[in-house]
């Protein structure tokens, strides 16, 4: 898996200062994973991959 083939999304709540994360939602349905990366390190930076279920729990907790 490479970061170039993914469509990355940033929260609409993020400021444009670059202090946020980006989520690659392309692999959620097909592979059951959610890749996450630092928006300041788009090229050559590392990413963390979460199982879809764990990401859903994380987002739900944030919303509460």
pTM of the complete model beyond 0.75 = no
Q: How confident is the model at residue 14 (pLDDT cuts 50, 70, 90)?
A: confident
Is 15 contained in some domain? no
Q: For the chain, how many structural domains are there in total?
A: 1
Is 13 contained in some domain? no
Is 54 contained in some domain? yes
Is 35 contained in some domain? yes
Instruction: Encode burial over 9-21: b for 16+ CB neighbours within 10 A, e otherwise.
Output: eeeeeeeeeeeeb
Strands (E), 1-64: 8-10, 21-24, 33-38, 47-51
In terms of residue numbers, what domain contains 44?
A: 20-63
Is 48 contained in some domain? yes
Summarize pLDDT for 25-64 with one digit per residue, the tens: 787 777 889 999 888 777 767 889 999 999 999 989 988 8
Among all chains, which residue has been given the structure tokens 């994973």? 33
Is 5 contained in some domain? no
């Amino acid at each position: 898996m490479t970061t170039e083939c993914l469509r990355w999304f940033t929260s609409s709540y993020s400021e444009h200062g670059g202090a946020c994360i980006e989520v690659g939602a392309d692999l959620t349905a097909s592979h059951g994973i959610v890749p996450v990366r630092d928006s300041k390190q788009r090229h050559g930076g590392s990413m963390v991959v979460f199982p879809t279920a764990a990401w859903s729990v994380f987002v739900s907790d944030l919303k509460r």
